[in-house]
Structure 1
Amino acid sequence: MTKLSVNINKLATLRNSRGGNVPNLVNSAKDIESFGAQGITIHPRPDERHIRYQDAHELKSVVQTEFNIEGNPIPKFIDLVLDVKPTQVTLVPDAEDAITSNAGWDTIKNKDFLKEVISTFKSHGIRTSIFVDPNEEMVKGAVETGTDRIELYTESYAKAFSVGKQDEGIYPFAQAAKVANEVGLGINAGHDLSLENVKFFKKHIPNLLEVSIGHALICESIYLGLENVVNMYLHRLK
């Protein structure tokens, strides 16, 4: 079964919009795990507009499943990850002012940088994953960095699926996954996956280990309830 890691950034956005501590991220993470999710994901950004760096420390003490921290490996982020020591760190090349992640790494151009950062994390026992576009050359380049996994950036698939072009949209991801499997890289995926499109994606990506889903899952939960939505995803990922 493909694991579901729930990204709770949007809950932090809601909390920050009013100040205070409602919703409480620690309690929310506990609830999400109790509903069956196999992981919690956070993506702190330098301006802390949703997840705060302190949240990472507080969540580390309560998350019982896999704890995944995403972000651009600037010095402040590297220090946070080494201090918290999550199960997994996912490296994302997003600019400080990016609204959300919008591209994968050029693993060839950034090989030396990624190799150094990944080596540091792995020396501390932290599993590594890097955000990549569904490009076979970028997947091959990822091997040279020493990463354990890649996370396929799925926005283009989600857009194609939304206009009825799911076969066309899934093709580059299936090819990228084939290469990843051949070279021994674990495969994660995330960005704009939803209840509508996740089952089709999982069906066509062999050995998909984990999906990280936040925005869609929280939006769907407004209508259907968080516990119900988590279990709907789990059913689709079996």
Structure 2
Amino acid sequence: MAVGAALIVSGLFHLVVFAVDGGPWDGPVSWRKPVTFGLSFGLTLITVTWVATHLALGERARAVLLGVLTADCVVEVGGITLQAWRGVPSHLNRETSFDSAVSTVLAAGGGVLIVVLTAMAVAALRPNPRVTPSMLLAVRAGFATLMAGLATGAAMIARGVIEASAGHQQEAYRVAGFLKPVHAVSLHGVLVLPALAAVLSLTGWHEARRTRAVAAASAAYALAIAAALAYSLLR
């Protein structure tokens, strides 16, 4: 939790830097990246750490997965922040050997992220009698949206790599973010839906009603993802 909070503080700090220093918000070189990645990775780390307590995982397995996730989040945000301060792109950048090394580490970190979160998503599918049906549904639906977010992130990197490999470096930077809206919406369902289930548990509603409410919210979130996908592809 503390590391996640530190990443959020880093994102907010760079928002202040942007306000003072100015420069473009969009593009491969901007303060937007340390801001958005710091906030997103910090919030995701805190969320997944909480949601992991509702998974059918042993204490040791949970600790290992969360430990790897925490280290990976720090490396990802650290690499992106370093490159922002150097004034160079963080992803798809093969201009120098150092830039290439950073880009490779970030890509590998993305792979680690997919492996760890997929393992947790699989664990969410297991029955867990300690968790209410409404919360279990929320966790499962949340991880489903998170998987969609990871898939869109991988698709963006893949498209950028294809363009960069063809020698179109600037085009790679331009097209690599083509799924950013749906990527952003998908990533945070793992927070929104379990948080809703937690709030509903404080009401006087019976469990069946809470489960129906979570199911309706999950369907609405899926529609929001579909709308964001359509916007991403048509804009």
TM-score class, shorter-chain normalisation, is under 0.3
Structure of higher RCO (CA pairs closer than 8 Å, 6+ residues apart): 1
| Higher share of residues assigned strand | 1
Relative to the length of structure 2, the TM-score reads: 0.26
Relative to the length of structure 1, the TM-score reads: 0.25
Larger radius of gyration: 2
